[in-house]
Amino acid sequence: MLKTRDDLINVRSIYGKSLELQTKKILVCAGTGCVSSGALEIFDLLTSLLIDKKVPCSVELQKEPHDASVGMKKSGCHGFCEMGPLVRIEPQGWLYTKVQIDDCEEIIEKTILAGEHIERLAYQKEGNVYKKQDDIPFYKGQTRMVLDHCGQIDATSIKEYFAIGGYTAFEKALYEMTPDHIINEISESNLRGRGGGGFPAGRKWSQVKRQKELQKYVVCNGDEGDPGAFMDRSIMEGDPHRMLEGMMIAGLACGASEGYIYVRAEYPMAVSRLKAAIEQATEYGLLGENILGTSFNFKLHINRGAGAFVCGEGSALTASIEGKRGMPRVKPPRTVEQGLFDKPTVLNNVETYANVPLIITNGADWYKHIGPENSPGTKAFALTGNIENTGLIEVPMGTTLKEVIFDVGGGMREGKKFKAVQIGGPSGGCLTNEHMDLPLDFDSLKKAGAMIGSGGLVVMDENTCMVEVARFFMNFTQNESCGKCVPCREGTKRMLAILERIVEGKGEEGDIELLLELADTISSTALCGLGKSAAFPVVSTIKYFRDEYEAHIFEKRCPTGNCQKL
Amino acid sequence: MNQTFDFTVVDSIIDGLGCKQSAIIAILQGIQEQYRYLPREVFPYLAKRLGISEARIYSTATFYENFSLEPKGKFVIKVCDGTACHVRKSIPILERLRKDLGLSDKKVTTEDLGFTVETVSCLGACGLAPVITVNDKVYPAMTPDKATELLNALKEEL
């Protein structure tokens, strides 16, 4: 139990030294992707092989460490899920890909004991062998700031987080800054909400702080429902303490003593990692009452979602935490005034909170220098679909689409031609060849009729039928419409019916116009963000691929041959 | 109503989570984890214990997709049909599973309560698309043939 500031500094230095002594480390990726490919079995086997061979090793940092023992660590998601299970070897920084049970003996014998590289396990492309993780083109084009711990440290241990300077930002905020000072720093940094809306976090915090109610709440939106997006999952699984630290700083700044984390039920591992992280932080006295000997009290709870996409919307999310149907309500009053249990509430998403410790530690000026002025910082994107390197990436805001798809993403699969990228999930739009030089940031995308959304980028090649894509998203939104307001409940049904007709070859003249009219009505009259943006994928595919719609309707032909009924 | 329903399991779930209205979703989740569905007997019981109406609990239970009022199979197979899985052909996998088990979008659970097949919007394992899960264990890079193989292996465990 840490009771003073010195206690915290001390524990950081103990584990920092312990980590330094571990000259050799084996980091096995324990993200959802690699675990499903057998990473945990590999971790267990590597550990038991070390024990059998009498090589000193430790699965957790020790207070009084053995000299030069091999550190065995379950790391967070490296983002390169397709090449999993991934094993990173320190100090060399080598990355082994697609590691199998049969490779374990060799890894210990050759790499750990003899220091030799095993070429067959390295990432190879076009005849090049990439020994080091940082040299792989997929990583080279990235700026990993929020995700920098993911894959580099043990994601399951608070000691490891202490060892690399964890909770320094919280310490600074707690002892050296006033709430106003914290909020000023966040406002000054121009950190904008990473959940999709891009609302300035500092403004939100100051609005909550201003409220006179004594009870306030900090809520984290981990209900990452957009299909094709898994940035927040990786942060919750791979670096849970950083997110907790961000929430604690928000609590300190706004005068909240309780926080809730709402996580999708589809992310069981994120839930268990967060639970463990909260327990560890409570054990050390970083959560609870009179934290580190100050008057600050803060508790965190986890709520699991139950399979409703609409709960990603603020007022639906708070209703769900209260145990009600997750339906949005009319605003105002806004969440900052009357949110959870009708009290003033700061609601930000996972990635936003994970940015907070960076800003507090390094200052707003440092942060502002990354990315464009109006959207500073980095953004994590989930690259999926018909692209060579699928996975999780982080680039500065304002990176162009071309850089993301061709430099980091490695271009299209099987040499196919790029057709479009769907950004922002079911609320977003598509970008085409003409947008290749478009900087990816909040404002530029809005101008192009798309939105950054939470950060899902689904890349589609020439064989993808855009009408079918529009139907797919409309089917999704229609399913997830909560049914409270008429425009969304009925409008999405009608739009889906028309799209289904078109892909079945029963489209009629005037369908396109009718779709656009319905889209306009729904967007201007629906109650919440889900409804307002429900029609965006349709509008944007009509805008850029009207000829495909027309071929379906008038020629009864699907140009890509996807629609089987035609 | 089944008079012999044993509420001790329900009681211990409520006690673990706290007997308060806001805990209702967590309580229902706990009950569903035990029984693989929400037995109808629990509704009046929960209403009494939590001091809220049965209708309110029912409205919550029917709103969220994860709750089921029908018994589910021993193996709940979820086929991801998120965007990434969809563009990498998840539907043929779903069709194969349904065909092999004699299920459809209306009939999701087999007669012997062995299997339930449903779709899910996204499991966040897009890098390994298409994926399916069986009782939360993720199976990456699936094909219809691999799905049949998996089913055969699971049938042995029934």
Range name among A41-50, A64-73, B21-30 with the lowest pLDDT average: A64-73
From chain B, pick out residues whose CB is under 8 angstroms from the CB of A382: 126
| Residues B96 and B127 grouped into a single domain | yes
pLDDT of residue B41: 95
- In angstroms, the Cα distances linking A122 to A39, A42, A93, A459 are 16, 17, 12, 26
Q: Where residue B136 falls among pLDDT bands split at 50, 70, 90?
A: confident
Res. A189: pLDDT tops 60: yes
Strand blocks (E) in A200-290: 217-222, 258-263
| Residues B80 and B149 grouped into a single domain | yes
DSSP string, A423-464: ESGGG-EEEEGGGTT-B-SHHHHHHTT---TT-EEEEEETT-
- Nearest by CB to residue B22, choosing from A226, A323, A425, is A323
ipTM of the complex as predicted? 0.94
Residue B83 to residue A458, Cβ atoms within 8 A: yes
- Nearest by CB to residue A307, choosing from B65, B129, B138, is B65
pLDDT of residue A530: 92
The CA distance from A474 to the nearest CA of chain B, in Å, is 12
Q: Which domain holds residue B52?
A: 8-63
Q: Which of B33, B50, B79, B126 to mutate to test the interface with A (most CBs of A within 10 A)?
A: B126
- Mean pLDDT score, A69-89: 92
Stated length of chain A: 566
Q: Which of B28, B29, B128 to mutate to test the interface with A (most CBs of A within 10 A)?
A: B128
Contacting residues for A409 by C-beta, under 8 A, at least 6 apart: A138, A383, A387, A388, A389, A393, A459
b/e B103-138 (16+ beta carbons within 10 angstroms → b): beeeebbbeebbbbbbbbbbbbbbbbbbbbbbeeeb
Range name among A54-68, A154-168, A256-270, B57-71 with the lowest pLDDT average: A54-68
- Mean pLDDT score, A404-420: 94
Distance CA A279, CA A158 (A): 10
Sign of the Cα pseudo-torsion (A25, A31, A34, A35, in order):
positive
Res. B106: pLDDT tops 90: yes
| Residues B41 and B82 grouped into a single domain | no
pLDDT of residue B3: 61
The CA distance from A388 to the nearest CA of chain B, in Å, is 10
Answer whether A406's CB lies under 8 Å from A428's CB: no
Distance CA A12, CA A16 (A): 6
- Nearest by CB to residue B63, choosing from A36, A326, A390, is A326
Res. B2: pLDDT tops 70: no
From chain A, pick out residues whose CB is under 8 angstroms from the CB of B67: 306-307
Distance CA A249, CA A170 (A): 6
Distance CA A399, CA A410 (A): 15
Residue A231: closest CA among A98, A76, A86: A76
| Residues B136 and B92 grouped into a single domain | yes
Residue A480: closest CA among A235, A310, A234, A236: A310
Residue B137 to residue A36, Cβ atoms within 8 A: yes
Residue A472 to residue B83, Cβ atoms within 8 A: yes
CATH number (domain holding residue B117)? 3.40.30.10
Domains: count for chain B: 2
SS3 assignment for A328-396: CCCCCCCCCCCCHHHCCEEEEEHHHHHHHHHHHHHCHHHHHCCCCCCCCCEEEEEEEECECCCEEEEEE
Establish if B128 belongs to a structural domain: yes
Res. A555: pLDDT tops 70: yes
The CA distance from A415 to the nearest CA of chain B, in Å, is 16
- Mean pLDDT score, A11-33: 94
Establish if B124 belongs to a structural domain: yes
Q: Which of A264, A317, A324 to mutate to test the interface with B (most CBs of B within 10 A)?
A: A324
pLDDT of residue A17: 93
Residue A386 to residue B87, Cβ atoms within 8 A: yes
Q: How many interface pairs between A and B have CB atoms less than 8 angstroms apart? A: 135
A271 touches chain B (CB under 8 A): no
- In angstroms, the Cα distances linking B60 to A161, A323, A540, B18 are 39, 8, 35, 18
From chain B, pick out residues whose CB is under 8 angstroms from the CB of A386: 87-88
**Residue listed under structure tokens 């032909």:** A557
What does the angle CA A424 – CA A428 – CA A433 come to, to the nearest 5 degrees?
Answer: 90
Stated length of chain B: 158
Q: Where residue B87 falls among pLDDT bands split at 50, 70, 90?
A: confident
From chain A, pick out residues whose CB is under 8 angstroms from the CB of B129: 384, 390
Establish if B1 belongs to a structural domain: no
| Residues B80 and B119 grouped into a single domain | yes
| Residues B85 and B130 grouped into a single domain | yes
pLDDT of residue A357: 98
Q: Which of B14, B59, B63, B134 to mutate to test the interface with A (most CBs of A within 10 A)?
A: B63
Establish if B114 belongs to a structural domain: yes
Answer whether A193's CB lies under 8 Å from A349's CB: yes
Residue B122 to residue A228, Cβ atoms within 8 A: yes
Nearest CA in chain A to B23: A323
Of the residues B23, B42, B63, which one is the last residue of a structural domain? B63
Q: In what order do the strands lie in the sheet with A299-304?
A: A299-304, A258-263, A217-222, A345-349
Contacting residues for A289 by C-beta, under 8 A, at least 6 apart: A297
Residue A167: closest CA among A249, A274, A283, A275: A249
- Mean pLDDT score, A38-60: 95
For A368, how many CA atoms within 13 A lie in the half-sphere containing its CB? 11
Res. B1: pLDDT tops 60: no
The CA distance from A289 to the nearest CA of chain B, in Å, is 21
Strand blocks (E) in A142-205: none
A460 touches chain B (CB under 8 A): yes
- Nearest by CB to residue A384, choosing from B65, B120, B126, is B126
Establish if B33 belongs to a structural domain: yes
Beta bridge partners of A346: A218
Distance CA A90, CA B21 (A): 50
| Residues B80 and B129 grouped into a single domain | yes
pLDDT of residue B127: 83
Residue A129: closest CA among A171, A160, A94, A79: A94
- Mean pLDDT score, A373-391: 92
Establish if B59 belongs to a structural domain: yes
Q: Which residues of B touch A (CB under 8 A)?
A: 21-26, 28-29, 59-60, 63-67, 81-84, 86-88, 120-129, 131, 136-140
| Residues B109 and B137 grouped into a single domain | yes
- In angstroms, the Cα distances linking B88 to A1, A298, B127 are 50, 44, 11
Answer whether A441's CB lies under 8 Å from A398's CB: yes
The CA distance from A131 to the nearest CA of chain B, in Å, is 22
| Residues B55 and B81 grouped into a single domain | no
**Residue listed under structure tokens 């629609």:** A563
> Around Cβ A389, how many Cβ atoms within 10 Å?
22
Q: Where residue A134 falls among pLDDT bands split at 50, 70, 90?
A: very high
Establish if B70 belongs to a structural domain: no
Residue B87 to residue A322, Cβ atoms within 8 A: no
**Residue listed under structure tokens 């990726």:** A29
Provide Rg for chain B, Cα atoms.
18
pLDDT in tens, A440-494: 999 999 888 888 887 889 899 999 999 999 999 999 999 999 999 999 999 999 9
A483 touches chain B (CB under 8 A): no
Residue type (1 letter), A102: D
Token pair belonging to A204? 């939100």
The CA distance from A391 to the nearest CA of chain B, in Å, is 5
pLDDT of residue A425: 85
pLDDT of residue B84: 84
The CA distance from B26 to the nearest CA of chain A, in Å, is 7
Nearest CA in chain A to B132: A36
Write phi, then psi, for A552 (nearest 5 degrees).
-65, -45
Q: What is the pLDDT of chain A when averaged over all its residues?
A: 95
Q: DSSP code of A222?
A: E
Residue B22 to residue A37, Cβ atoms within 8 A: no
Q: Where residue A564 falls among pLDDT bands split at 50, 70, 90?
A: confident
Residue B66 to residue A472, Cβ atoms within 8 A: no
Residue A141: closest CA among A409, A387, A391: A409
pLDDT of residue A84: 87
| Residues B90 and B28 grouped into a single domain | no
Alpha-carbon dihedral of residues B52, B57, B59, B65, nearest 10 degrees? Answer: 150
Residue, of A358 and A390, whose pLDDT is higher: A358
Residue, of A456 and A361, whose pLDDT is higher: A361
**Residue listed under structure tokens 């769907």:** A422
A230 touches chain B (CB under 8 A): yes
Alpha carbon distance, N-terminus to C-terminus of chain B = 29
- Nearest by CB to residue B25, choosing from A82, A306, A472, is A306
A463 touches chain B (CB under 8 A): no
Sign of the Cα pseudo-torsion (A383, A348, B32, B30, in order):
positive
| Residues B42 and B94 grouped into a single domain | no
**Residue listed under structure tokens 């976090």:** A201
From chain B, pick out residues whose CB is under 8 angstroms from the CB of A391: 127
Answer whether A289's CB lies under 8 Å from A282's CB: no
Residue A327: closest CA among A523, A489, A222, A482: A482
Helix or strand run (H / E) with residue A71: strand A70-75
Nearest CA in chain B to A323: B22
Establish if B123 belongs to a structural domain: yes
Percent of chain A with pLDDT over 70: 100
Q: DSSP code of A132?
A: B
Percent of chain B with pLDDT over 70: 98
| Residues B137 and B83 grouped into a single domain | yes
Of the residues B43, B63, B83, which one is the last residue of a structural domain? B63
Distance CA A259, CA A251 (A): 8
Percent of chain A with pLDDT over 90: 89
Q: Where residue A542 falls among pLDDT bands split at 50, 70, 90?
A: very high
Token pair belonging to A202? 């500092």
Longest dimension (CA), chain A: 77
- Nearest by CB to residue B125, choosing from A81, A341, A464, is A81
The CA distance from B54 to the nearest CA of chain A, in Å, is 13
Beta bridge partners of A132: A94
Query: What is the CA A33 to chain-centroid distance, rounded?
Result: 14
Residue A304 to residue B21, Cβ atoms within 8 A: no
From chain A, pick out residues whose CB is under 8 angstroms from the CB of B19: none
